[in-house]
Structure 1
C-alpha cells in the first residue's frame, strides 16, 4: 500500500530523569521513545498524513513498547521486523538540553536489532511504496550493512519515491573525514535535504552561510539550511518528475520558490523564514519536527515559504514540550498561523501547551 511518507531508521526506548542532575545521581527515570525517523512519521501521522515506519526491533518488551507507542500515533508498523537474537536499543539522558556542557547521554545500542538492518532483511518494497522516503545520517552510522542499505535506497532508479535526507550529524557516531564524506555523498543523492549550518561546518568545514552550503550541495531539488534560533533558508527548484509527491512545478508560486544558484532550470532566489519566538522547554526532537512540518507542506503542494513556516510551527511544538516527540498543532490552527502576514508572524510567541490549548478551544466550538 502506498503511503505519503515512509521513514526508515532506528528507534530506541528513552529513559528521561525524574529530576535534574547527573545520571549518577538521578534516582528514577520515566520511559519514552525516541528516534529521528519515527519522530517524523509520528508527527506526520498525527497531522493527518499516512505514514509508515520501517525498522528492526528486538523480540523483547522494549520492542513491544516501541511498536505500541508508534502505532498509537497512527503509523503503519507492519514493515518492522522482530529480531529474536538482538535487543532493542535504549538510552538514558539527563534533563538538560543537548546543547549544554552538563548534558549526558548514555546509549545502549551496540549490537541492536536496528544496527543489523540490511538490503536483505528490510522490506525494500514497503520503503519504496511511498510518495516520500525519509532517511537520516544516523542510520548510516550504525553499521556497514546500514550504509549499504542507504546506498541502495538513494540509488537514482526510475520511479523511486522522493528521497528526503536529514544529515543529522552526530560527531560521537562518526570517526573521521571519510565518514563525513559519506554523509555528503548520501545528501547529494537525495531530492530534499535538511542540514544545520553548524552541522555543515562541523562535518564539512563549510562556512559562509546558507549560500556556501548550497554551493557544496547543488544537486538536491530542495535544500533547507537550518540556522538555529534565527530561522531557516530554503533553496528549491521543481522536484523530480519521477517522484510521487506534489511537485513544485505543479503548484502556483505565491511566496517565491527558492532554488540553487547558477543556470539550473527553475532557479529562483533563496527564501528565508525567521524562527518563531518560543519558551524553550527542550530542544531534543525539534529538528525532526521541523522536517515533518516541511514535508507535510511539500505533500500538500504549498509554497516554499509556507513549507518553512510549517517546519517552524512543528519545531515550536517540540521546543515547548519535554521528551523527543511532541504532537504537532491541530491542522486548522497551523493553517491559520502559517497564513499570517510577515509582521504578525514575527510577533508570535509560543509557550508550553500552546498546541493543546488551541485544540481544546476548537473542540469546545464544535457544533
Structure 2
C-alpha cells in the first residue's frame, strides 16, 4: 500500500454476501449453491480493480468500528488499498450487500448502506483537515450510495471543482442521485441502459441512443453499457460504440465496477477514447467469465 494515492474512491465499502447457484433461477427458487463473503461495495470494487490495473487508490467511506469493520479494513489493506482516510464510526455498524445469482444473472439483491448514508459529510473530513489537498486535482471515482444531498454538495463543492469526477449510481434504484452532476455539468457518468432511461425519464433500445440523450440533457460525458450488447461513450467529440466480447457468464455482481475501473485506468494511462472502451469491455468480459481473480 502506498501513502500517496493517485485516485480517490468515494462511496460504499462493505461486505458482499453472494449466493450463487449453478443453474437458472426464478423468483421463489430454492437451489443448492455456494454462499461467499467478500469485500465489496461500488467504491471498494472499483478500488480493487484499479489496484489490479496498476494504480494506487485510496478509499473514502464509512466503516464501523466493529469486528466486521476491522476485518474489512484488514482485507482492504491486504489488497494494497489505502484506508487512511476511511471514517471509522463508533456507533454505526459496517454496511453489507446481499445478492442471489443464477446462471441467468442477478435474481435479487439488497444493499444495506445505511451507515454510509448516516455518516454523511463526515467522510469528507480528510479534505477539511488537510489530510488531502483541497481543491483536489486528481481523479475521483464516486458512487451513488451517498445521499442525494451530499452528492449535490459534491457536484458543486470547491473542494472538487478541479477534480476529474467519474460517477456511477450504484444501482438503478439510485440512478436519480446522479442528476446533480448533469445539472452542474460535471463529471463522466457511468450508467447502464436502465439507469440512463431513469435519468432521462424514458426507455432506450440501445446504448448509443441513451448516450446521445444524456448529452442532450446536459451531461458532459456519459458511458452507457448494456450487458452483452454494444456499449457507448458519448462526449463532445461524438459517440463511440463497441460490441463486448462474447463470453459465458459465471458471475455478474461487480462487473460494472470492473468495467468502470478498467476504463478509468486506461484513460489515466493515456489510452484514447476508443482504445479505453475496448480495454474496459475486455476487462469486464474476463471478470464475468470468471477469468479475473477477486
Q: Distance in 2 between matches of 1:26 and 1:14?
A: 19
What's the offset of the Cα at 1:2?
A: 5.5
Number of the residue aligned with 2:232: 233
What's the offset of the Cα at 1:130?
A: 5.6
The question of 1:104 aligning with 2:108 is answered yes
In the TM superposition, 1:336-347 aligns within 5 A as none
Q: List per-residue Cα deviations over 1:77-134 (Å, max 9, x = no partner).
A: 110121111101223332426845xx23345444x2x222322453352486461111
The question of 1:275 aligning with 2:244 is answered yes
Q: Distance in 2 between matches of 1:11 and 1:163?
A: 19
Number of the residue aligned with 2:202: 205
Q: 1:25 to 1:215 in 2, by over 3 A?
A: closer
Q: Distance in 2 between matches of 1:16 and 1:23?
A: 15
Q: Specify the structure having the higher radius of gyration (Cα).
A: 1
Q: Distance in 2 between matches of 1:56 and 1:213?
A: 32
Q: Distance in 2 between matches of 1:225 and 1:104?
A: 22
Aligned with 1:132 (options 139, 154, 170):
139
Q: Distance in 2 between matches of 1:235 and 1:18?
A: 34
3-state secondary structure, aligned to 2:262: helix
The question of 1:162 aligning with 2:164 is answered yes
In the TM superposition, 1:56-67 aligns within 5 A as 56-67=62-73
Moved more, 10-19 or 225-234: 10-19
Q: Distance in 2 between matches of 1:30 and 1:9?
A: 22
3-state secondary structure, aligned to 2:252: coil
Q: List per-residue Cα deviations over 1:180-200 (Å, max 9, x = no partner).
A: 3x4323344332111112222
- Scaled by the length of structure 2, the TM-score of the pair is 0.81
CA contact (8 A) 2:182 2:220 kept: no
Aligned with 2:55 (options 49, 52, 67):
49
| Total equivalences in the alignment | 277
Q: Distance in 2 between matches of 1:227 and 1:17?
A: 23
CA contact (8 A) 2:65 2:93 kept: yes
Q: Distance in 1 between matches of 2:21 and 2:247?
A: 23
Q: List per-residue Cα deviations over 1:313-361 (Å, max 9, x = no partner).
A: 221232122xxxxxxxxxxxxxxxxxxxxxxxxxxxxxxx3x57xxxxx
In the TM superposition, 1:290-301 aligns within 5 A as 290-301=259-270
Moved more, 23-32 or 72-81: 23-32
Q: 1:109 to 1:98 in 2, by over 3 A?
A: farther
The question of 1:318 aligning with 2:287 is answered yes
Q: 1:186 to 1:99 in 2, by over 3 A?
A: farther
Q: List per-residue Cα deviations over 1:22-75 (Å, max 9, x = no partner).
A: 797769833212211111111111221111111111111111122122222211
Structure with the largest fraction of strand:
2
What's the offset of the Cα at 1:287?
A: 0.6
What's the offset of the Cα at 1:223?
A: 1.6
Number of the residue aligned with 1:217: 215
